[in-house]
Homo-oligomer: A and B are copies of this chain.
Amino acid sequence: MGAVRVGVLGLGLIGGSVARRLAPDHDVRAWDPDPATRAAAAAAGLALASDLGRPDVTVLATPMDALPEALAHWTGGTVTDVGSVKGPVLAAARAAGLADRYVGGHPMAGSERSGFAAADPALLDGAVWVLGLEDDTDTDRWLTVAALVTGAGCRVLPTTAAAHDEAQARISGLPHLLASALAAAGARGGPLATALSAGSFRDGTRVAGARAEFVAALCDGNRAALAAVLDETLADLAAARDALRSGGTVRPLATAGHAARRAWSEPAPTTAVRLDRAAPDLRADLLALGAAGGWLDAVTPAELHGHCPPTHPA
């Protein structure tokens, strides 16, 4: 695609990485409420402007709790965001009457670090970037954002806010809470436990190094889906505890976990997928692609090119 006017509001880890990624190819104006962040962004070569002008696409990269207000003040173009939970932002966009301008987004990239100092265009290399596709999403605007994101070297995965949030609870909220619980359990063991800890404890606690406010926003923002997933995991762990108490074995859980990790770490080769941009069921085709774990690599004026794991029924 040609150069697009892009506004980026919020220059933390993700917003900063996105702005720096898009700046070489597009007309990017960025802003952050923090003067020190703006100074660092200007020093990195970004064009700073409190008035983002009339961008074709505005990327809201503020903290989750500031997104509803940022949306409510929006006045033009297509608006997307990078929030880690999509349901609440979608609801806010609808409440603000912006459902037809809003395309929810979530790049699946992160780091224990935060802030513009940690921003890095390479963080987005080949990253999966969810774009929300609801019944009331404008497909043309969705494709505009998808073209921008694929053009930046990311994989666009189409799904709904509800499906995203359910999956997100499993693969992001839950690992953060388990890491926190493990770190706390280790600390209760005192210096002896610390001295004995090795690789399994190190890797299992890594993301507990994230700031507590980040973890809380990630989890509290997705409370319904995460509580349901925690119910499942509490049941699995309670069954293991009960087996240990009654002379049984944790083997069923170990076996299920081993099979799941193995399937995860040895994905089958993907198949190339091509969709007609003018297909009458394009929305359904895209959602089927995302539900199967597939993604788009490129958006051309006529076609959509992507890849999909072999589970895809097509």
Contact = CB atoms under 8 A, between A and B. Distances in A.
A40 interface: no
Contacts of A178: 178, 181-182, 204, 237
A233 interface: yes
A115 interface: no
A220 B182 contact: no
A48 interface: no
A96 interface: no
A206 B83 CA distance: 26
A200 B188 contact: no
Interface residues of A, number: 102
A170 interface: yes
B293 A191 contact: yes
Interface string A162-194: 011011101110111111111111111111111
A122 B142 CA distance: 53
Contact of A171 (B168, B174, B201): B201
A73 interface: no
A183 B174 CA distance: 10
Top 4 closest pairs, chain A to chain B, by CB: A180-B257, A191-B293, A195-B293, A187-B260
